[in-house]
Amino acid sequence: MPPPIDAESFTEALDRAVRILRPAKKVAVLTGAGISAESGLATFRGGGGLWEGQRIEDVATPRAFARDPLLVWRFYNLRRANLATVNPNPGHRALVELENRLGADFTLVTQNVDGLHQAAGSHNVLEIHGALRRVRCVGCQRVSDRGVEVLPELPHCEERGSLLRPDVVWFEEALPDDIWGRAVEAVQACDCFLVVGTSAVVYPAAGLIDVARMEGADVIEANLEPSAVSTRVNILLLGPAGTSLPELLKRMKEEG
Instruction: Report CA 162 to chain centroid distance, whole Å.
Output: 30
Handedness of CA 20, 23, 24, 30 (dihedral sign): positive
- Alpha helix (H) residue ranges in 85-232: 90-102, 116-120, 177-189, 207-214
CA distance 33 to 54: 18
Which residues lie closer than 8 Å to 28 by C-beta, 6 or more apart? 106, 107, 108, 109, 186, 187, 189, 190, 192, 193, 194, 208, 212, 217
Q: Report how far residue 49's alpha carbon sits from residue 27's, in angstroms, rounded to the nearest whole number.
A: 32
CB count, 10 Å around CB of 72? 22
| Contacts of 59 by beta carbon, 8 Å cutoff, 6+ apart | 51, 71, 72, 75, 76
Nearest in space to 248 (alpha carbons), one of 6, 3, 4, 29: 29
Q: Report the catalytic residues.
A: 129
Tell me the residue ranges of DSSP E strands in 181-255: 192-196, 218-223, 235-238
